[in-house]
Structure 1
């Protein structure tokens, strides 16, 4: 008998914490930025260049977490029938946290034993493990560490459905996830629909990111004879499967370095991906034809890759990722037409196949054996029928709310009503006014009264907008806060001169740290570092104790050769702030660059832990090797400490 219930899950938890109040006007280095696409075909090259965004705005960055964990309860929804038990972490993007095959007691996913945010998502905070739903633009979704709207629904046949949905602000679309387990189903079924309510096409991206246990006897299979490889050299190349360079990439514990492999699945073949152990058993993901792409990600067996896995989930918890998406690779966006609705069905379950075949030397025989096992588990026509049947209930309003998400969908409904537009065309995903909160309050006031009341200018704005539909109402308000927001909106549109003008006008109306900081970030972006340093000094004069602002300012001063001034800024912080990892790193860097290698060395020896170290970031090992060079290579045989080794390629420059 299928059931849906709410409960809680207790995990060692590092809370996500508060957002960074400074808007991320310009995205940093994009790990998915392709520098060499010479081997890609015309379609792929076009999609790689299409739909890129200048930043994660209007979202603010989630970097307020630490690595201090204590037990905490998390709300979860559990779907269960006689075969499977699926647990969804409602407060973290609706992530499928666990999928247990009940007859054997086997966990099919990599279930993270801790809730530990790390800096891998578009907004910073990200969790490893389970199945993550990624939408909007390239990278881990802005909603991955946010609660989604969630509700209970009942299908016409009585099957309970867990519905989760949200309004995605970068693309201005609604996405809806309906997960269910019919009584006799051996697979978890997930119906996904994206609705574009706009009058124009939008670039679209979706990848279901699936973590499964990694072990020497695990092999990843997909219905392809070649793959597109993308690594940290930012080059895409087509390689034959399974062993293009003599190392079988389908056996991830044989690979040294981290890499992405996007399986080149021929048109017309059934789409699936699986990771099977020595007995021929493991998780399989398959779908209807809308999800074209399949991927393998591996951390590699280098010291940095192993360190990353422990960083994300603790010791002894190796995992790999198999994924499924709309495009052939995660380097692409697809154009979603105006008014379009895209739907598909995904299925997750235990695949059983002939172990001799799936682990044999014949790649074709291996993947065909896995396909045959999949056809026995859930034939394609069953999924096609599910997709057709879903059309009859996907727009039904939920029976019972389980959790509220953000108020941004409700604000959009209010904006559309004020503009004489029809409601969002997703009746099964309601956005009630009760979800409106402090982040939406300024924009409600702008809609209703034509202005935004400026509160205490010493307090940072709680939210921003970059959708062009907000430009006209903002222009009608000449206050300093509206001008500040206009500058942010113009930045996102690529009008840097217009942004600069609005921020200067905002300062003329009322000097604030927020406008000065934005001018500083803009000047740094355009290469005028002297102007940037001056603007940061003005911002600090108005908000001297704001750690994110101090760190930005110190980073700029180090770049301009003013390391001593940066060191003075950092030293003036309270002791609790000076103990933060980012502050300690900046102090060590500034000390080294200002001629005090002993101070830098002391900080390195005491330990510098960056809770928000970024995937691909070289700050820690760069500083270690720079200090060694500055001190004449003392102890030449001393290796890079493991705590500082997050290198994704073992061939990275060791300094």
Structure 2
């Protein structure tokens, strides 16, 4: 194992959004029904969180790239070289097949952030590990705890782990390269330390290079396809409207294909390029789902590829998950854990049969993978891992967040010890974000915090807390709202305002009472708060109150600088100006060439505003982000 600090071209994530993440509901689950298996329908109705609280958004980044040092951990044997980025969600960033010299993953020359994850910030490339709920993981742009350990038979292992704050479970990722293996081994474990079941979601997403000769093969005759609007339906990707969509570049628009693998089928999905090389993802049976995602060859898909990988290179994604589709959550029983083994390497197919008709291609890939990585070898490797899965790490590589350590402290305070020998949360990881909550545990005092917690245990502690009464009421309201108790939240915010006027209390009251007028005193109390101003103007425009929105913008001390930056607030300004009839000013802003760093996947606001202001002119390519 080689551990180094390497300078990468990276867009800085910036500070966390200071606002509690309560206002914008997570994407509504599709209405799934009809000729879809009952299991999928039931799982799609289970376990959807109201919001992503207590996580704060990571939306304060720009498009500017800098040379920033990152920890890179590399595993290598005679067949493979695998590099990981533990500071960025543990991403498997490169996987090079040494025989062919090919990187089996799409690895851009830069890490360009975009608004695609649950917390906003996300970047394309490598293999990412997604837990929580549908979407890219809350931890995808955050450090994980990382350490080195050595197995009883002398194999070096990279262990990464973290406390998932949404589901309040611990996930563990162990990666190693057996001495003579052409496949990287990655064991995953999710542990539920609670006396009640927890809804669980997991998908491992691999970005793979894509060109006209790229084909994706999975052992299924049909798939559940998403249309990004109504839900999913059963399709045959290899013959859909007369087109074989298993070739990513033959898809005209973005598409998801969740392959319907038979229960007894070995779990795999593979890629073949012009020479038959390409990534294969295999696993033990628990990791049930397999998916192909493509951006599509339309104008919007091409734009997204350029936006996320500015230095060129197209990619598709092959993915593997616990459920058949990404619309589902599964119940992990109380005080239990789930684990499985994933394997990554070169499928090593022969190009001619891999590019033949679907049944022949599937049969060829099945037979070749059975030779290159026999099923019994995978099962034996998984069984050996189970024997050392709880080994205590021997060398800390980096610390993750302090939230696991805080949860351990809260449990000790409540008389519920947390035994996690293999994934310890050291007190050294506790930082400024956890300090006020740790103080509440220690002596029952609370004077406010710029971070947030969740769970009834914290709400009970705040009920008896001493200290800043306005802050105690505010954070009690946030906890009540996170649990869906809007009436209690509203009362608590109003109590906080009785003690002290604050931008945060007014903002939270706007959400709890669904009253955008409360944003006006909120912004008056915090006129320089960019995150608050962005949210307030967005909400006022959505409510048809463009005059009030424009008034907030033009009255903000940030206004001139934000217009010059040509980002999100400049777009909101153009929208507000257009809505009040000041179209010349709105047109001038749009003609300057806006780059909205956090434009959301599927968001068409730039194109729509251009059409409104310039109905007879074609939409510029740089404003085309349509997914359909």
**TM-score past 0.5 threshold:** yes
Number of the residue aligned with 1:653: none
Is 1:293–2:289 an aligned residue pair? yes
Instruction: Please give the residue correspondences for 1:532-571 in structure 2 after superposition, counting only pairs within 5 Å.
Output: 532-533=516-517, 535-571=518-554
Matching residue of 1:355 = 351
- Report if aligned partners of 2:249, 2:296 keep a CA contact under 8 Å in 1: yes
Match of 1:443 among 437, 459, 466: 437
Residues of 1 paired with 2:9 and 2:135: CA distance? 26
1:528 maps to what in 2?
none
| Paired residues for 1:308-347 under 5 Å | 308-347=304-343
- Selected match of 2:359 from 354, 360, 364: 364
Residue number among 481, 498, 517 corresponding to 1:508 in the alignment? 498
Residue 568 (structure 2) aligns with: 582
Q: Determine which of 7, 18, 35 is the counterpart of 1:39.
A: 35
The separation in 2 between residues aligned to 1:249 and 1:370, in whole angstroms, is: 18
Structure 1 residue 515: Cα displacement = 0.7
Equivalent residue of 2:369, what SS? helix
Equivalent residue in structure 1 for 2:413, among 409, 414, 418: 418
Return the offset for 1:568.
Answer: 3.0
- With over 3 angstroms needed to count, the CA separation of the structure-2 counterparts of 1:614 and 1:241, relative to structure 1, is closer
Change (3 A) 1:376 1:503: same
Give, in angstroms, the shift of residue 471 of structure 1: 1.5
TM-score w.r.t. the length of structure 1 is: 0.93
TM alignment of 1:176-187, pairs within 5 A: 176-187=172-183
* 1:99-156 CA-partner distances (Å, limit 9, x unpaired): 0111221111001211111100000000100000001211111000001000000011
Q: 98, 107, 120: which is aligned to 1:102? A: 98
Any idea what the Cα deviations from partners look like across 1:242-287, whole Å, max 9, x if unmatched? 1122111100101111011000000011000111112222110000
Correspondent of 1:620 among 606, 612, 617: 606
Pairing 1:475-514 to 2, within 5 Å after superposition: 475-477=463-465, 479-514=469-504
Q: What is the RMSD of the two structures over their aligned residues, measured on CA atoms?
A: 1.4
* 1:434 pairs with one of 425, 428, 431: 428
- For 2:620 and 2:609, the matched residues in 1 are separated by 12
Asked whether the equivalents of residues 451 and 477 of structure 1 are also in contact (C-alpha less than 8 Å), the reply is yes
Distance across 2 between alignment mates of 1:310 and 1:619: 18
- Aligned-pair distance for 1:332? 0.4
Cα distance, 1:315 vs. partner? 4.3
Secondary structure in structure 2 of the residue aligned to 1:13: strand
* Separation in structure 2 between the aligned mates of residue 15 and residue 190 of structure 1, nearest angstrom: 28
Any unmatched runs of 5+ in structure 1? Answer: 455-460, 525-530, 650-655
Q: Distance in 1 between the 2:625 and 2:581 partners? A: 27
Name the stretch that deviates more: 472-481 or 221-230.
472-481
- In structure 2, what is the Cα distance between the partners aligned to 1:412 and 1:470? 10
> What are the superposed Cα offsets for residues 176-216 of structure 1, whole Å, 9 maximum, x if unpaired?
10000011111000011111000000000100000000111
SS in 1 for 2:129: strand
| 8 Å CA contact 1:97, 1:130 repeated in 2 | yes
- Kindly indicate whether the alpha-carbon contact (under 8 Å) linking 1:522 and 1:532 is maintained by their aligned counterparts in 2: no
Moved more, 549-558 or 69-78: 549-558
Distance in 1 (CA, whole Å) between partners of 2:307 and 2:25 is 22
Contact 2:293 2:316 (C-alpha < 8 Å) held by counterparts? yes
Greater shift after overlay, 158-167 or 559-568? 559-568
> 2:305 and 2:171 mapped to 1: Cα distance?
30
CA drift of 1:22 comes to 1.0
Q: Does residue 166 of the first structure (1) align with residue 162 of the second (2)?
A: yes
Q: Quote the residue 2:302 is aligned against.
A: 306
Q: In structure 2, what is the Cα distance between the partners aligned to 1:313 and 1:52? A: 31
Match of residue 587, structure 2, among 601, 620, 642: 601
Task: Note closer, same or farther for the CA distance 1:398–1:81 as it changes in structure 2 (3 Å cut).
Answer: same
The answer as to whether partners of 2:223 and 2:235 remain within 8 angstroms in 1 is: yes
In 2, are the aligned partners of 1:396 and 1:428 still within 8 Å (CA)? yes
599-608 vs 236-245, which deviates more? 236-245
Gaps of 5+ in 2: none
Is contact 1:195–1:426 with CA below 8 Å preserved after alignment? no
Q: Deviation at 1:241?
A: 4.1
Matched residue SS, 1:391: helix
